[in-house]
Amino acid sequence: MLFMVRMDVHVPHELDPAKFDALKATEKARAEDLQRSGKWRHLWRIAGQYANISIFDVADAGELHELMISLPLFPYMTTEVTALCRHPSAISAD
Amino acid sequence: MLFMVRMDVHVPHELDPAKFDALKATEKARAEDLQRSGKWRHLWRIAGQYANISIFDVADAGELHELMISLPLFPYMTTEVTALCRHPSAISAD
Amino acid sequence: MLFMVRMDVHVPHELDPAKFDALKATEKARAEDLQRSGKWRHLWRIAGQYANISIFDVADAGELHELMISLPLFPYMTTEVTALCRHPSAISAD
Amino acid sequence: MLFMVRMDVHVPHELDPAKFDALKATEKARAEDLQRSGKWRHLWRIAGQYANISIFDVADAGELHELMISLPLFPYMTTEVTALCRHPSAISAD
Amino acid sequence: MLFMVRMDVHVPHELDPAKFDALKATEKARAEDLQRSGKWRHLWRIAGQYANISIFDVADAGELHELMISLPLFPYMTTEVTALCRHPSAISAD
Amino acid sequence: MLFMVRMDVHVPHELDPAKFDALKATEKARAEDLQRSGKWRHLWRIAGQYANISIFDVADAGELHELMISLPLFPYMTTEVTALCRHPSAISAD
Amino acid sequence: MLFMVRMDVHVPHELDPAKFDALKATEKARAEDLQRSGKWRHLWRIAGQYANISIFDVADAGELHELMISLPLFPYMTTEVTALCRHPSAISAD
Amino acid sequence: MLFMVRMDVHVPHELDPAKFDALKATEKARAEDLQRSGKWRHLWRIAGQYANISIFDVADAGELHELMISLPLFPYMTTEVTALCRHPSAISAD
Amino acid sequence: MLFMVRMDVHVPHELDPAKFDALKATEKARAEDLQRSGKWRHLWRIAGQYANISIFDVADAGELHELMISLPLFPYMTTEVTALCRHPSAISAD
Amino acid sequence: MLFMVRMDVHVPHELDPAKFDALKATEKARAEDLQRSGKWRHLWRIAGQYANISIFDVADAGELHELMISLPLFPYMTTEVTALCRHPSAISAD
């Protein structure tokens, strides 16, 4: 099942830069793993913002949630979640 | 270049159903053509709403606009457009 | 899988009352069928508004969408859809 | 009487993690007690967010308020409260 | 139990003035009856707008809803409902 | 003249609890005094939120403002102010 | 007592132009009368919009309301009302 | 003096297409005249929407308003107006 | 040229009270000077809020900006700016 | 390709003024360089706010993003990005 998630990252200014860099490196590794597994199907940057648009392909909302809270930057994000399904005019199963 | 577009369709209640069915059939054909051309890369239904999330792969904003106004249902839509680019953690060029 | 849907019904004032009564009767029958099937698990009126809060238990977002567009009043609704999952403090599988 | 409450939890980044873990443990125990008592009838996680949708069955708004402010995480929440009642198409008394 | 309701009335311009005057007269009579019964405890005009702030004293949300949909102008209103309870600093039971 | 004021209190998490308790005690005393004087005519808690709905009966907007800024918790509030007047369907002068 | 009112005028496209011109002429005469009386103290156009910012000097909210509903274009307006009072740094009683 | 104006055009579906085409032709001629005069300095289409971003160079807000209401499509627009001035980091007087 | 500005002041709770009092005193002096010069034509308190509505009479947007950033409390404000012009029904040039 | 970007700068009050002055000086130099390169085509101050409206002329959304995150004040900004294209009534290619 597909979900679109918009993630906006808000870095508190008082956060130690070294700690934040470490978080970002772990986030990157986690994001790459999830993409390789096929669960994080698309990951795009929103131009001009510290934000992304992602498409997840997961078993259900429970798996999406586990995946989201496993992200090291999750505590610094606001998210919008949209459940998607096949469009009658889509020419492929996705 | 990639754009995400959210389209919400608002059908005026006084619209002649036959005319609207004809519009929808033309819209479907146009959407399928554009998907086959590779320009309308993804088309997903937002569950529970008369709305979709689309990803377009076009030369620039001008081509996106031409494409959007060529849709028979464009006069009945509100749209949100988001310019996308490659995310540093994406594992493919997409 | 569970979804919460908020439905707000907007009746155009120019709609023929007899036609609208017929739509409401069909809607009621459809809602009762879906509740009996277990797919429309809860249906509550929002006090003071022509709106409801519903909990659906469906296979996935695709089934939710089919179900929603099968409602006779769907063309007169605005909807908000929220994907739910088990809360770590919930005492039942729900 | 039924109320739907949406709770969004905002953890200040400077909060001591040990203190927050203790708060969460107390919150979980309190939530489980209230569910067992029948007053907190449903508790669902909103997928992808540190937020929940809850249905409370209480005597009145006063009891709802006492219950809400007894939650250890209440000072870290924003809440939305919606009063519910029986829907004419609901097949059970709830 | 107390509820605050804000009602904003939207009169469609194409509504027949005589019909609307009749509706308003019936609404006024109904509002006066409900005030006399003690259920519609306060009714104030919002200055400069076709809107009011009302306080209802009813058994529960179900009674509030019955009362609201019994108003002749209900189909022309948008409403906001807020459940109230006793404030710890209030000097009277209300 | 009547004003409705909605007050939402936001307590900064770093505020010293003893200082905040003192502020709340002073606020309560001040609120009780103003109610006794007849100027703060109604004070209701909004169920489930650290917020209230109040009705003030003052000479004019200037007196309302003096009264509001005299509240010890005013610096921690956001407020919404609505000017009220007699409704043509109200059965008492209120 | 001073009130600021923002009025946005929405002309339904199906309104008969001659009827609308007559309404505007009556509105203009009424606005000029109220300005001459001192009650409508300032009247400014918001640049680029069919909207105005007005300052009224009236006895109370009730007089403001009577005045507003006496405007021929009132049924075609949305309004925002803000109660004003003397600012401690103002150099005149205004 | 510079103003940025965003114009969103909303065409009522019941408008006669021939009348609307005539309006658009007149609008185009008027827009070209104003551009040639130097007063409408920039005119850009917002990609994917029936909307534009414009920069006007006018004597003051009064001239901007005259100019805006002279546009044949003005009755079908919503507008947002932003007053601009020289930025301290701009390298030209603009 | 006239501008309406709404200023909402947000005082950070950790600000040293003595420093803030000094800022307010300087702000008051500056506001009085600007009123005497005729450039800050009106200054009203919004009842019940730490906010004001101001009317400025300046040469252009550039002068307005210089004036605004010269205010000692500017870093603690959010502002809304509205460009005004003469209303066709205004009886004075204002 | 053209993008309009609105940037609102939010300076945390606890930021060291010397550090912030240094950031602003670097930002100014960077902004001037980008203007000279032709990529930051217009830069206007929004009157009365710590905000600007900018027009960028870049190859695509990727280049826009690189440019934006290279700005020293980017971590202190919120941004809105709008993709622009040629308007059919524009008299010049830009």
Chain C residues close to E68, C-beta within 8 Å: 47-48
Residue ranges for chain I with pLDDT beneath 50: none
- Which residues does G contribute to its contact with E (CB < 8 Å)? 3, 5, 12, 14-15, 61-62, 64-65, 68, 75-76, 79, 81
Neighbouring chains of B at 3+ CB pairs within 8 Å? A, C, H, J
Give I63's contacts (C-beta < 8 A, 6+ positions apart).
I39
pLDDT tens readout for residues E38-81: 999 999 999 999 999 999 999 999 999 999 999 999 999 999 99
Strand blocks (E) in G47-92: 51-57, 77-86
- Which residues does H contribute to its contact with G (CB < 8 Å)? 3, 5, 12, 14-15, 61-62, 64-65, 68, 75-76, 79, 81
By 3-state DSSP, what share of chain B in percent is helix, strand and coil, each rounded to 5?
Answer: 35, 35, 30
Calculate mean pLDDT across residues D13-40. 95
DSSP D8-26: EE---TTS-HHHHHHHHHH
In this complex, does chain I touch chain D, defined as having at least 3 beta-carbon pairs under 8 Å apart? no
Chain B residues close to H48, C-beta within 8 Å: 3, 5, 64-65, 68, 79, 81
Give B36's contacts (C-beta < 8 A, 6+ positions apart).
A91
Q: What is the pLDDT of residue C15?
A: 87
Of D15, D65, D76, the CB nearest to F47: D65
Calculate mean pLDDT across residues G73-81. 97
A42 CB burial (10 A radius; 0-12, 13-18, 19+):
buried
- Given an 8 Å threshold on Cβ–Cβ distance, is I1 in contact with H60? yes
| Contact of F84 with E47, CB cutoff 8 Å | yes
Q: What is the pLDDT of residue C11?
A: 87
Give H68's contacts (C-beta < 8 A, 6+ positions apart).
G47, G48, H5, H74, H79
pTM (global) more than 0.95: yes
Of D1, D62, D65, the CB nearest to E61: D1
- Given an 8 Å threshold on Cβ–Cβ distance, is B84 in contact with J61? yes
- Given an 8 Å threshold on Cβ–Cβ distance, is D60 in contact with E60? yes
Q: Which residues of B5-15 are buried (b: 16+ CB within 10 A; e: fewer)?
A: bbbeeeeeeee
- Given an 8 Å threshold on Cβ–Cβ distance, is C48 in contact with E65? yes
Q: Which of G30, G33, G44 to mutate to test the interface with I (most CBs of I within 10 A)?
A: G44
Cα(F65)–Cα(A58) distance, integer angstroms: 55
**Distance of residue C85 Cα from the nearest chain D Cα, in angstroms:** 5
- Which residues does J contribute to its contact with A (CB < 8 Å)? 3, 5, 12, 14-15, 61-62, 64-65, 68, 75-76, 79, 81
| Contact of A71 with A27, CB cutoff 8 Å | yes
Cα(G58)–Cα(G36) distance, integer angstroms: 13
Q: What is the pLDDT of residue I12?
A: 87
Look at residue I59 and give its three-state secondary structure. Answer: coil
More confident site: G93 or J61: J61
Task: Please state the ipTM of this predicted complex.
Answer: 0.96
Predicted confidence (pLDDT) at residue F94 exceeds the cutoff of 80:
no
Calculate mean pLDDT across residues F26-48. 98
Chain J residues close to A8, C-beta within 8 Å: none
Chain I residues close to H62, C-beta within 8 Å: 1, 85-86
**Distance of residue J20 Cα from the nearest chain A Cα, in angstroms:** 13
Q: What is the pLDDT of residue C32?
A: 97
Chain H residues close to G45, C-beta within 8 Å: 65
Under the banding of pLDDT at 50, 70 and 90, the label for residue H72 is very high
- The 3 state secondary structure assigned to chain C is CEEEEEEEECCCCCCCHHHHHHHHHHHHHHHHHHHHCCCEEEEEEECCCCEEEEEEECCCHHHHHHHHHCCCCHHHEEEEEEEEEECCCCCCCC
Strand blocks (E) in I1-94: 2-9, 40-46, 51-57, 77-86
Q: Which is it for the CA torsion A60, A62, A67, A73, positive or negative?
A: positive
Of F62, F65, F83, the CB nearest to G61: F83
**Distance of residue J58 Cα from the nearest chain I Cα, in angstroms:** 29
Q: What is the pLDDT of residue J28?
A: 97
pLDDT tens readout for residues A39-73: 999 999 999 999 999 999 999 999 999 999 999 99
**Distance of residue J78 Cα from the nearest chain B Cα, in angstroms:** 16
Q: What is the pLDDT of residue A15?
A: 87
- Given an 8 Å threshold on Cβ–Cβ distance, is A65 in contact with C85? yes
How far the first Cα of chain A sits from its last, in Å, is 10
Q: Which of A77, A87, A92, A94 to mutate to test the interface with B (most CBs of B within 10 A)?
A: A87
Cα(G1)–Cα(G84) distance, integer angstroms: 8
Calculate mean pLDDT across residues D84-92. 96
> Residue J82's closest CA among B37, H52, A61?
H52
Q: What is the pLDDT of residue A93?
A: 75
Cα(C12)–Cα(A9) distance, integer angstroms: 41
In this complex, does chain G touch chain B, defined as having at least 3 beta-carbon pairs under 8 Å apart? no
Of G43, G46, G87, the CB nearest to I43: G87
Longest Cα–Cα distance of chain E, Å, equals: 49
Give J34's contacts (C-beta < 8 A, 6+ positions apart).
J40, J67
Q: What is the pLDDT of residue C91?
A: 96
Predicted confidence (pLDDT) at residue E83 exceeds the cutoff of 80:
yes
| Contact of A87 with D67, CB cutoff 8 Å | no
Q: Which of A55, A65, A79 to mutate to test the interface with C (most CBs of C within 10 A)?
A: A65
The residue in chain G having the minimum alpha-carbon distance to the alpha carbon of residue E10 is G75
The residue in chain B having the minimum alpha-carbon distance to the alpha carbon of residue A44 is B87
Calculate mean pLDDT across residues D28-56. 98
By 3-state DSSP, what share of chain G in percent is helix, strand and coil, each rounded to 5?
Answer: 35, 35, 30
Cα(D12)–Cα(A12) distance, integer angstroms: 10
D91, two tokens: 């097949």
Q: What is the pLDDT of residue J25?
A: 96
Residue ranges for chain C with pLDDT beneath 50: none
DSSP I8-33: EE---TTS-HHHHHHHHHHHHHHHHH
**Distance of residue I53 Cα from the nearest chain F Cα, in angstroms:** 14
pLDDT tens readout for residues H6-25: 999 998 888 899 999 999 99
CA count, 13 A, side-chain hemisphere, G74: 16
- Given an 8 Å threshold on Cβ–Cβ distance, is G45 in contact with I86? yes
Residue A86 pairs in a beta bridge with B44
Chain B residues close to J82, C-beta within 8 Å: 81
Q: What is the CA radius of gyration of chain I?
A: 14
**Distance of residue J60 Cα from the nearest chain B Cα, in angstroms:** 7
Q: What is the pLDDT of residue E12?
A: 87
- Which residues does J contribute to its contact with H (CB < 8 Å)? 2, 4, 27-28, 31-32, 35-36, 42-48, 52-53, 55, 82-92, 94
The neighbour count for residue H59, using CB atoms within 10 Å, is 11
Calculate mean pLDDT across residues F30-41. 98
- Given an 8 Å threshold on Cβ–Cβ distance, is J85 in contact with B60? yes
Q: What is the pLDDT of residue D22?
A: 95
H11 CB burial (10 A radius; 0-12, 13-18, 19+):
middle
Q: Residue F20 to residues F14, F88, I16, I45: CA-CA distances in angstroms? A: 10, 44, 17, 28
